[in-house]
A and B are shown apart, each in its own frame.
Chain A
């Protein structure tokens, strides 16, 4: 075994270690980004300007007969709405889906949707199979509008007030508790002219 002296140290050999250290720091911070608690940078701001075409073949929703229209920024004017970002390829979307169905069947709260990075035929089939709670659906096939909304991963759910301002954001599937403790109180408060929380 040879152990030459320390004189042979060369800084360039530190480079891999330095690069790894930088990557590891990113990983550490990446771990702490709990996306569920991350406040959206868009809260308190108007919704991005957008206009999405309707989802071809979408089945009717409770209280809406005929074809389901698309979704645009102007559609939020006048009443508090719930915006759900979903996709047929997204497993967790199926988990939260019954909550929206129940909400659509039992309350007048308008629920609208952005169908994110999905094939229209898949999305329409998904809605036919599991039910359609959405009064308006914007088909965001390439995900451009989703990026403007700061969509991080599907599903995501927003509360938008009657002036078209985003007031609340929930990342991940909506749970019973989130619906009861956050989303419904927020909608109720906004309807009564108060702040979201």
Chain B
């Protein structure tokens, strides 16, 4: 019964989304306020209904209702509760409900917090959000109904894929979806602006917080996914340029470009058509990602069970949503009036460079991801494009982004002074020289490229600090003055510095962990000692046992460094009972500066075990860097100017509006 209520709620949500997607649009075109105002309640009601459907699905999974086909094929009564919950979105149907839930969540948030948006813009934004929701609700109900019953009910479930039974992955999809479905707001705002025929700084101020929130969630989501791959797949790698990874990474790159160009619209009333295009593109890439993962056109290790029928449906949604919005763009965007002019060397110029490089980098990832498909369709040979391509194209394009990222914020709007900026960055140049030389001396001269990359990290880190010190007039003004400036500096500035600093930490982590990683693969008998970097691993032996829904072999390693005990590491091999699928659980001993990583291989039958040990320097910095970037976004989000409603309230007061135009 509860499940049927969920099904019914989903169908009702479909009807409501149709209302939300049509009446407000007609109302806005006619200037009929009553019709426009249907947008807000319907967005909230749609969210309530989708939430109800989502909750009934939770109920079915938590209480292991095996009369529901989805529960029977993706859950098991022995599964720990946390994985019964994550099983809700660990499958195609459930994850689509999560997708729509987050879409409706953002719609409801705009309805509730967007009280100060102009009525016509708000109703149009919500209508576009409603139409996207309509398309995907229809998709779920027609092709991927999660509420189908089994008759007779199954006695026991088939278990969630053991690889997914992991705390890191359990909460990775919600973050990921918050991110890339969250970009739907930028899309809705862009389409609404095209219909309105107006983009102004106020528009950019409304769009930015939503985009920023989505970007932060996506950053965290991608980082969680990569962290999971690092410790669960047992290969010691953290990014594989897999099509599914790329599907979430492409919206991130373009979303990053969008965040930066929206600043130009906001501050300088310029680059409008480009910003609109990026808004459309960011969410379009989220949609394309959804299509790629679920249609089976690209094969990947972590693709969902694929179905060409579903693929065709999503493709039709893509054509309507992306094709429609780009048609609107081709027609309306040329009418948008450009704003302030600027010299090439200026803050705007730096942001244009950022955008050029980021979008080119995105294009290379896009090509690399889809090239096998393109070639296949043309009847060519079957190829797969691997990390060498991505490393060879993506890294050279993003390196200048990191170089320019320090200089850009030091330039003035309109016309900047490059020589002056570089002069003021002398400390950063010193830091680069010291780091490069220091790295070569410490690590040996084999890794010049890695030393230069560490220098880049130092450049960004010190450059960010110099820029912040400049703003505060640190060491130049009396402390009281510095303190006053520190308090007055907008949060968005701090946010930028924090996020850029995160990039520096990330670069250092990536460089060190790929350049100076040490690995040992060996067969060991209990009592043997293996040496890795300057650590000694004494293999004590293996003991078997049972977990809640798996049995395991657990290896024990006593790790010491120059005779001093460091840790006891216990990597496991697990065999999940229901699916008899083995997984490895790497043991990781992490310090802030490095990870020791141990994987237990197989027994050879005569008492020896294969073991793999890795020493990964600075690898934690990769994820710490991502978290710092996201934290920078959050700080920026708390800026007064971005707080929803503040700029709008001013806009609505006629006097202030008159002042603004004067």
Which residues of A does B touch, CB under 8 Å? 1-4, 8-10, 13-14, 16-17, 20-21, 23-24, 26-34, 57, 89, 91, 94, 121, 124-125, 128-129, 143, 147, 150-153
Q: Is B113 an interface residue (CB 8 A)?
A: no
Asked if A16 meets B382 with Cβ closer than 8 Å, knowing A23-B370, A24-B323, A31-B312, the reply is no
A20 touches B322 (CB 8 A): yes
B198 touches A10 (CB 8 A): no
Task: Name the contact of B335 in the complex, choosing from A2, A20, A124 (C-beta under 8 A).
Answer: A2
Q: Which residue of A lies closest to B324 (CB)?
A: A17
Task: Name the contact of B196 in the complex, choosing from A1, A26, A57, A121 (C-beta under 8 A).
Answer: A1
Q: How far is the CA of A124 from the CA of B602 in the complex (A)?
A: 9
B376 touches A17 (CB 8 A): no
Given contacts A20-B326, A153-B299, 13 further A-B contacts (CB under 8 A): A2-B197, A8-B335, A13-B333, A17-B330, A23-B288, A23-B370, A24-B315, A27-B315, A27-B373, A31-B296, A124-B602, A147-B381, A152-B382
Asked if A30 meets B319 with Cβ closer than 8 Å, knowing A16-B281, A121-B602, the reply is no
B331 touches A9 (CB 8 A): yes
A17 touches B196 (CB 8 A): no
Q: How far is the CA of A104 from the CA of B297 in the complex (A)?
A: 34
B377 touches A30 (CB 8 A): yes
The 6 A-B residue pairs with the shortest CB-CB distance, nearest first, are A30-B297, A125-B602, A17-B326, A29-B377, A14-B330, A8-B334
Q: Is B392 an interface residue (CB 8 A)?
A: no
B373 touches A1 (CB 8 A): no
Task: Name the contact of B330 in the complex, choosing from A16, A91, A143 (C-beta under 8 A).
Answer: A16
Task: Name the contact of A1 in the complex, choosing from B198, B273, B327, B382 (C-beta under 8 A).
Answer: B198
**Least distance between B250 CB and chain A CB atoms (Å):** 12
Q: A17, A33, A150, A151: which has the most chain B beta carbons within 10 Å?
A: A17
Residues of A within 8 A of B288 (CB): 23
B295 touches A2 (CB 8 A): no
Q: How far is the CA of A20 from the CA of B291 in the complex (A)?
A: 14
Q: How far is the CA of A121 from the CA of B612 in the complex (A)?
A: 11
Q: Is B419 an interface residue (CB 8 A)?
A: no
Q: Which residue of A lies closest to B523 (CB)?
A: A121
> DSSP majority for the A interface?
helix
Residues of A within 8 A of B610 (CB): 121
**Least distance between B349 CB and chain A CB atoms (Å):** 21
Residues of B within 8 A of A29 (CB): 377
Q: Which of chain B's residues 427-475 have a Cβ closer than 8 Å to chain A?
A: none
B381 touches A16 (CB 8 A): no
Q: Is B277 an interface residue (CB 8 A)?
A: yes
Q: Is B167 an interface residue (CB 8 A)?
A: no
The interface on chain B, measured as residues whose beta carbon lies within 8 A of the other chain's beta carbons, has a size of 47
A-B pairs with beta carbons under 8 Å apart, 6 shown: A9-B331, A13-B273, A13-B331, A17-B326, A24-B323, A57-B604
Residues of B within 8 A of A125 (CB): 601-602
Which residues of B does A touch, CB under 8 Å? 120, 196-198, 273, 277, 280-281, 284, 288, 291, 295-297, 299, 301, 308, 311-312, 315, 318-319, 322-323, 326-327, 329-331, 333-335, 370, 373-374, 376-377, 381-384, 581-582, 601-602, 604, 610
B318 touches A24 (CB 8 A): yes
Q: How far is the CA of A184 from the CA of B318 in the complex (A)?
A: 43
A16 touches B335 (CB 8 A): no
Q: How far is the CA of A2 from the CA of B120 in the complex (A)?
A: 13
**Least distance between B610 CB and chain A CB atoms (Å):** 5
A26 touches B377 (CB 8 A): yes
B383 touches A147 (CB 8 A): yes
Q: Which residue of A lies closest to B309 (CB)?
A: A31
Asked if A16 meets B277 with Cβ closer than 8 Å, knowing A21-B323, A26-B370, A31-B308, the reply is yes
**Least distance between B216 CB and chain A CB atoms (Å):** 27
B323 touches A31 (CB 8 A): no
**Least distance between A78 CB and chain B CB atoms (Å):** 30
A31 touches B311 (CB 8 A): yes
B295 touches A31 (CB 8 A): yes
Q: Which residue of B lies closest to A119 (CB)?
A: B235
Task: Name the contact of A30 in the complex, choosing from B327, B373, B582 (C-beta under 8 A).
Answer: B373
**Least distance between A127 CB and chain B CB atoms (Å):** 11
Residues of A within 8 A of B323 (CB): 17, 20-21, 24
A34 touches B370 (CB 8 A): no
Residues of A within 8 A of B330 (CB): 13-14, 16-17
Q: Which residue of A lies closest to B382 (CB)?
A: A152
Residues of A within 8 A of B604 (CB): 57
Q: Which residue of A lies closest to B296 (CB)?
A: A31
Asked if A150 meets B382 with Cβ closer than 8 Å, knowing A27-B291, A27-B318, the reply is yes
A151 touches B333 (CB 8 A): no
Task: Name the contact of B120 in the complex, choosing from A1, A24, A57 (C-beta under 8 A).
Answer: A1
Q: How far is the CA of A178 from the CA of B371 in the complex (A)?
A: 31
A34 touches B308 (CB 8 A): yes
B315 touches A28 (CB 8 A): yes
A10 touches B377 (CB 8 A): no
Asked if A33 meets B602 with Cβ closer than 8 Å, knowing A1-B196, A10-B334, the reply is no
Residues of A within 8 A of B370 (CB): 23, 26
Q: How far is the CA of A21 from the CA of B284 in the complex (A)?
A: 13
Q: Which residue of B lies closest to A5 (CB)?
A: B335
Residues of B within 8 A of A94 (CB): 581
B333 touches A26 (CB 8 A): no
Q: A1, A32, A153: which has the most chain B beta carbons within 10 Å?
A: A1
Asked if A4 meets B335 with Cβ closer than 8 Å, knowing A13-B329, A14-B330, A121-B601, the reply is yes
Asked if A150 meets B376 with Cβ closer than 8 Å, knowing A24-B315, A89-B301, the reply is no
Q: How far is the CA of A24 from the CA of B198 in the complex (A)?
A: 29
Residues of A within 8 A of B335 (CB): 2-4, 8
**Least distance between A138 CB and chain B CB atoms (Å):** 19
**Least distance between A57 CB and chain B CB atoms (Å):** 8
B312 touches A26 (CB 8 A): no
**Least distance between B126 CB and chain A CB atoms (Å):** 17
**Least distance between A26 CB and chain B CB atoms (Å):** 5
**Least distance between B581 CB and chain A CB atoms (Å):** 8
**Least distance between B601 CB and chain A CB atoms (Å):** 6
A128 touches B333 (CB 8 A): no
Residues of A within 8 A of B295 (CB): 27, 30-31
B602 touches A9 (CB 8 A): no
Residues of B within 8 A of A16 (CB): 277, 280-281, 326, 329-330
A31 touches B299 (CB 8 A): no
**Least distance between B209 CB and chain A CB atoms (Å):** 24
Q: How far is the CA of A17 from the CA of B168 in the complex (A)?
A: 39
Residues of A within 8 A of B318 (CB): 24, 27
Q: How far is the CA of A89 from the CA of B308 in the complex (A)?
A: 24
Task: Name the contact of A24 in the complex, choosing from B299, B301, B319, B373 (C-beta under 8 A).
Answer: B319
Q: How far is the CA of A57 from the CA of B299 in the complex (A)?
A: 29
Residues of B within 8 A of A150 (CB): 381-382
Residues of A within 8 A of B383 (CB): 147
Residues of A within 8 A of B273 (CB): 13
Residues of B within 8 A of A4 (CB): 197, 335
Q: A26, A27, A124: which has the most chain B beta carbons within 10 Å?
A: A27
A17 touches B327 (CB 8 A): yes
Q: How far is the CA of A30 from the CA of B329 in the complex (A)?
A: 27
Residues of A within 8 A of B315 (CB): 24, 27-28, 31
**Least distance between B196 CB and chain A CB atoms (Å):** 6
Q: How far is the CA of A121 from the CA of B611 in the complex (A)?
A: 11
